[in-house]
C-alpha cells in the first residue's frame, strides 16, 4: 500500500518475468493461456495499473490528442465545441486515447505550443478548430509532419486534393434536406435568408437550398436570387430585414435561414406580421432553437468526432498514423480521402409559432464522401 505495484511486483507474484507481464498487457496472444491467466490474476490481486509516463517514455507514444481551444469569439463556438469535445473524449477513450486541451494567445505562441507538446511527447496528434486561409499553423504542422486534423474545411483549397486532413459538417446537405422537407409539405415559395455572399460556410448552405429549389421548380439563378436576402449574423438585423422582405413580397410561404440567430429574427418578424403556420428553419440546432421551438439542422458531433479519429488513426486503429499515411476507406474500392463530410440532421419543430411543441426528428442519415452527394444533386 505504501508503494504502487509495478510490473516487477506482478511478475514476482505470478512467477514470471517482467516482460511476460508486459506481454500480457500489450500482446496477450503471444502468451500461453495458462501463464496469461496466472498473470491476470496477479494483476487483479495487486490492483496493478501500468505507469503511463514510463510507458510513454519507452514507447515514444503519448496516446494523447491535443485539442486547441479557440479564442472564445471565433470558430466553433459554444455548445458545438462542447459536444464535440464530449464525443471526441468518449470515442478516443475507446481506442485508448486521451484528449488534452491547450490554448494560445497568438499565432507564434500557438506554434510554440505545438513544438513543446510535440517535442515533449505530450501528444501524438492535434485537432485544430479554427482555420484561416493560408494558415501558418497548418503550414507548420504540415511541414513538420505532425499528424493533425482540422475541424473545418480548408478555405480556398480544392476539396478533393486536400493539403491536410479535415472534417466538416455538410452545410449543403443540411439545407438541401431542410428545403426538401418544406417542399414535401407542399410549400412552393420558400425564401432564403443568408449571410453576405463570400462566406464559404454560408454559401454552401444556401447552395443546398438553391439546388433543392432548382430541382423541384426549375428556378434559375435570377429567380433564386429574388427569393434570397442576406444579412449579417444577429437577431435584430435579421428581424428588420425580414420585416422589409414581408413588406415587399407577400407570397412567401416559408424561410430557410443560414443560422439559428437569423432564423430567430425571422420568427419574430413572422410573428409580428401575424402569419399563421409560416415555417422557418435555421442551422446548428442551438439551445436557442430548442428553447423557442425552432426547426433547425443539427450537426452530428459524434460523427464528426468519429471521423476525426478515423482520419488520425484509421478505421479501428489504436494508434495515430504517421502524417501522410494512406487512409483506405472502409468501402471497398473507394479511393483514399483526406477528409470526411458529416451529413447533418434536420430537427423538425413547430417553428411557425413561438411556443414549442414535441420534437419530431427526421430519418437518419450518414457520412458521405465529399463531392459524391453534391455533384449528383447538382445535375
**Which positions touch a second copy (CB under 8 A)?**
4, 47, 49-54, 56-57, 62, 64, 69, 72, 77-79, 81-83, 85-86, 89-90, 93, 98-103, 115-116, 119-122, 235-236, 239, 261, 264, 268, 286-288, 291-293, 354-356
Choice between 235 and 245, CB closer to a second copy: 235
Residue with cell 436557442: 288
Cell digits of residue 84: 464535440
Instruction: Name the minimum Å distance from CB 24 to DNA.
Output: 8
117-143: burial string, b at 16+ Cβ within 10 Å, e else: bbeeeebbbbbbbbbeeebebbeebbe
Please give the backbone phi and psi of residue 170, each rounded to the nearest 5 degrees, phi first: -85, 90
Q: Which does 16 bind (CB under 5 to 8 A by kind): a second copy, DNA, none?
A: DNA
Which has the closest alpha carbon to 101: 79, 88, 93?
88
Choice between 275 and 373, CB closer to a second copy: 275
The whole-angstrom separation of Cα 225 and Cα 204 is 15
Choice between 230 and 319, CB closer to DNA: 319
Beta strands in 154-200 (DSSP E): 165-169, 190-194
103 counts as binding DNA under rule CB under 7 A: no
Asked whether 243 and 273 are in contact (CB, 8 A), the reply is: yes
Q: Which does 32 bind (CB under 5 to 8 A by kind): a second copy, DNA, none?
A: DNA
Q: Which does 20 bind (CB under 5 to 8 A by kind): DNA, a second copy, none?
A: DNA
25 counts as binding DNA under rule CB under 7 A: yes
- Cα dihedral sign for 263, 188, 201, 76? positive
Is residue 308 helix, strand or coil? helix
Is residue 149 helix, strand or coil? strand
Choice between 102 and 246, CB closer to a second copy: 102
291 CB-near residues (< 8 Å, 6+ apart)? 356
Choice between 54 and 107, CB closer to DNA: 54
| Bridge partners, residue 67, by sequence | 101, 127
* Binder of DNA out of 17, 105, 277, 372 (CB under 7 A): 17
How far, in Å, are 3, 138, 187 from residue 167 at the CA level?
A: 45, 14, 33
Choice between 93 and 107, CB closer to a second copy: 93
Q: Which does 7 bind (CB under 5 to 8 A by kind): DNA, a second copy, none?
A: DNA
Q: Which H or E run contains 203? A: helix 200-217
Q: Which stretch binds DNA (CB under 7 A): 4-12, 235-243, 296-304, 348-356?
A: 4-12
Is residue 302 helix, strand or coil? helix
Draw the binding track, 54-73, toward DNA (x: CB under 7 A; -: no contact).
xx-xxxx-------------
Choice between 36 and 239, CB closer to DNA: 36
Contact set with DNA (CB under 7 A): 3-4, 6-8, 15-23, 25-26, 30-32, 34-36, 48-51, 54-55, 57-60
Amino acid at each position: 500500500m505504501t508503494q504502487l505495484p509495478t510490473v516487477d511486483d506482478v511478475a514476482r507474484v505470478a512467477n514470471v518475468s517482467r516482460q511476460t507481464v508486459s506481454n500480457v498487457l500489450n500482446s496477450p496472444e503471444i502468451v500461453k493461456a495458462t501463464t496469461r491467466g496466472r498473470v491476470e490474476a496477479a494483476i487483479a490481486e495487486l490492483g496493478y495499473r501500468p505507469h503511463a509516463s514510463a510507458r510513454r517514455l519507452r514507447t515514444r507514444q503519448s496516446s494523447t490528442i491535443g485539442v486547441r481551444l479557440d479564442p472564445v469569439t471565433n470558430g466553433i463556438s459554444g455548445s458545438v465545441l462542447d459536444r464535440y469535445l464530449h464525443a471526441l473524449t468518449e470515442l478516443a477513450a475507446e481506442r485508448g486515447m486521451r484528449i488534452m486541451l491547450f490554448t494560445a494567445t497568438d499565432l507564434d505562441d500557438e506554434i510554440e505550443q505545438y513544438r513543446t507538446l510535440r517535442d515533449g511527447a505530450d501528444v501524438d496528434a492535434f485537432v485544430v478548430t479554427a482555420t484561416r486561409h493560408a494558415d501558418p499553423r497548418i503550414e507548420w504542422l504540415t511541414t513538420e509532419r505532425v499528424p493533425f486534423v482540422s475541424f473545418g474545411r480548408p478555405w480556398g483549397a480544392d476539396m478533393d486534393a486536400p493539403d491536410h486532413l479535415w472534417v466538416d459538417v455538410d452545410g449543403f446537405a443540411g439545407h438541401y434536406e431542410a428545403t426538401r422537407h418544406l417542399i414535401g409539405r407542399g410549400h412552393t415559395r420558400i425564401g432564403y435568408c443568408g449571410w453576405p455572399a463570400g462566406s464559404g460556410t454560408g454559401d454552401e448552405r444556401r447552395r443546398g437550398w438553391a439546388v433543392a429549389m432548382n430541382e423541384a421548380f426549375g428556378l434559375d439563378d435570377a429567380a433564386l436570387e429574388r427569393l434570397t436576402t442576406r444579412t449579417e449574423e444577429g437577431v435584430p438585423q435579421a428581424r428588420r430585414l425580414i420585416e422589409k422582405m414581408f413588406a415587399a413580397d407577400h407570397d412567401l410561404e416559408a424561410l430557410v435561414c443560414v443560422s439559428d440567430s437569423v432564423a430567430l429574427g425571422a420568427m419574430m418578424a413572422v410573428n409580428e406580421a401575424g402569419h399563421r403556420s409560416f415555417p422557418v428553419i435555421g442551422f446548428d440546432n442551438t439551445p436557442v432553437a430548442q428553447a423557442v421551438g425552432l426547426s433547425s439542422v443539427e450537426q452530428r458531433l459524434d460523427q464528426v468526432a468519429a471521423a476525426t479519429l478515423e482520419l488520425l488513426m484509421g478505421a479501428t486503429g489504436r494508434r495515430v498514423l504517421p502524417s501522410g499515411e494512406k487512409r483506405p476507406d472502409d468501402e471497398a474500392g473507394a479511393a483514399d480521402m483526406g477528409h470526411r463530410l458529416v451529413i447533418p440532421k434536420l430537427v423538425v419543430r413547430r417553428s411557425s409559432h413561438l411556443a414549442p411543441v414535441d420534437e419530431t426528428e427526421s430519418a437518419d442519415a450518414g457520412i458521405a464522401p465529399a463531392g459524391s452527394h453534391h455533384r449528383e444533386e447538382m445535375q
